[in-house]
Copies of this chain bind each other. A is one copy, B any other.
Amino acid sequence: MTPIDHVSRVERLTLRLADGPLGNGCDALLFLDLTDVRWLTGFTGSNGWVVVTADGVTLGTDGRYGDRARAETASIAATVIVEQHAPRLHQRLVDTLSGNSAVALDASTTSHSSWARLACEVALEPTGSLVKLQRQIKDEAEIARIESAARAADAALADVEPMLMDAVDHPLSEHDVRTELEYRMRLHGADDRSYDTIVASGTEHAARPHHSASRRTIVEGDTVIIDVGALLDGYHSDMTRSWVIGDPTEQQREIYGLVVAAQRAGLEAVAAGVAAKSVDDACRRVFDEAGYLDWYLHGTGHGVGLDIHELPFHSQTSDDVLAAGMVVTVEPGLYRGGFGGFRIEDLVVVTESGHRVLTHSPKREL
């Protein structure tokens, strides 16, 4: 796979700071969000901080991650600081920041206690993360990883779907389905699952959009929702398909048809320059016209990358605007206790004229 180009990401930030302080007066950027840290520097440890100034990048971490930090940040020539004890590592951060007039830090991913402690020693400015906004647009190397992850999930689902269709004769639980899917994604090349795979069956579990797979045995007549993604080199995929076990009822057929139609309408709304909210509007309109809007319990989608949920968001309260290179889900569903539920979700790359689909598992007709 093409390596991720961290050098140009760091260059863009350091050049910006070389032009003078940011609009809020900051001449240093501090990153504590480890996903931002990974995107910017390549460091994958579970503890650390990164400071960017016009002079370059400094990364601090603890003794568990020193070797890894040096190896992963060699291309960007980061200065790596390793301290085994947390108080000393904090002091090294304060030392690194001293001499700067103000430090930009993302307030939404920093704990209040960390903020308050650091604010005693350094002038902090709350900032929506510059990096989080940049992370929305994926480059080719990132899209290749997401696409490979999606392929592993497609292949695993193709393995497991026959077991599900055979559930009446050979009973299996939601947990069994999840176990096999997650195992097979790895056999098909994934590093891991993207998130705890959702397998939701029957009148109550499938009525919960984010049900966790239980030991419930799947039985004839069930609606079943499977929401499954893979992880590859840090990048996530995300996909949902739905089924009925055995012959569907008229109502099941009707509701499933509405979800398929809404999902198609949502996909058709995706294009560069479009408000993310309008993707949600497009799905909602289909449900509203059919009188089922109160069965729709969540937003229509989100960005996917190094985080499974990241900017932009397709929801009624979103101000986000789609742009070419964003990777987003389109995932309407209908849910009702006593009935069950259905959701259909694809992962797509936004293009100038529309979108390109990354998830290829077939959507069965009922």
Chain A interface residues (CB < 8 Å from chain B):
44-46, 62-68, 84-87, 107-116, 126, 175, 179, 182-183, 186-187, 191-192, 196, 204, 207-212, 297-298, 315-317, 337
Q: Which of B44, B46, B186, B317 contacts A85 (CB 8 A)?
A: B317
Docked Cα-Cα span, A292 to B183, in Å, equals: 40
B-side contacts of A84, CB under 8 Å: 297-298
Q: Which residues of B contact A192 (CB under 8 A)?
A: 196
Q: Looking at chain A's contact residues, is the secondary structure mostly helix, strand, loop, or mixed? A: loop
Closest to A46 in B: B210
A-B contacts, 26 listed (Cβ < 8 Å): A45-B210, A63-B209, A64-B209, A64-B210, A64-B297, A64-B298, A65-B208, A65-B210, A66-B297, A67-B207, A67-B208, A68-B208, A84-B298, A85-B316, A107-B112, A107-B113, A107-B116, A108-B113, A108-B114, A109-B111, A112-B112, A112-B116, A112-B126, A179-B183, A182-B183, A183-B183
Q: Which residues of B contact A111 (CB under 8 A)?
A: 107-112
Residue ID in chain B nearest A44 by CB atoms: B212
- Nearest-Cβ distance from residue A31 to partner chain B, whole angstroms: 14
Q: Are B175 and A179 in contact (CB under 8 A)?
A: no
Q: Is the CB of A67 within 8 A of B337?
A: yes
Q: How far is the CB of A7 from chain B (nearest CB, A)?
A: 23
Q: How far is A86 from B63 in the complex, measured between Cα atoms in Å?
A: 39
- Kindly provide the distance from the CB of A320 to the nearest chain B CB, expressed in whole angstroms: 14
Q: A207 — which chain B residues lie within 8 A by C-beta?
A: 67
Would you call B298 and A62 a contact (CB within 8 A)?
yes
Docked CA distance A179–B111 (Å): 34
A64 to B84, CA, bound (A): 41
Q: How far is the CB of A327 from chain B (nearest CB, A)?
A: 21
Knowing A109-B111, A111-B111 are in contact, say whether A211-B298 is a contact too (CB < 8 A): no
Closest-by-CB residue of B relative to A313 is: B86
* B175-A191 in contact (CB<8A): yes
Contacts of A204 in B (CB 8 A): 67
Nearest B-chain residue to A71, judged by Cβ = B204
Residue of B nearest to A176 (CB): B186
Task: List the B side residues contacting A64 at CB < 8 Å.
Answer: 208-210, 297-298
Please measure, in the bound complex, the distance between the C-alpha atom of A112 and the C-alpha atom of B125, giving whole angstroms: 12
Give min CB distance, A172 to chain B, whole Å: 13
Question: Which are the 6 A-B pairs with shortest beta-carbon distances?
Answer: A63-B297, A112-B115, A107-B113, A64-B209, A107-B112, A108-B113
Chain B residues within an 8 Å CB radius of A179: 183, 186-187
Q: How far is the CB of A323 from chain B (nearest CB, A)?
A: 23
Q: List chain B residues, Cβ under 8 A from A68.
A: 208, 210-211
The one of B110, B182, B210, B297 in contact with A112, judged by C-beta atoms closer than 8 angstroms, is B110
Chain B residue nearest to A317 (CB atoms) is: B85
| Residue in A44, A64, A315 whose Cβ sees the most chain B Cβ within 10 Å | A64
A252 to chain B, nearest CB (A): 19
Taken together as a complex, chains A and B put the C-alpha atoms of A45 and B46 apart, in Å, by 24
Contact of A298 with B63 at beta-carbon distance under 8 Å, contacts A186-B175, A192-B196 already known: yes
Most B CB within 10 A of own CB, among A67, A182, A207:
A67
Determine the distance from Cα of A115 to Cα of B113 in the docked complex, in whole angstroms. 10
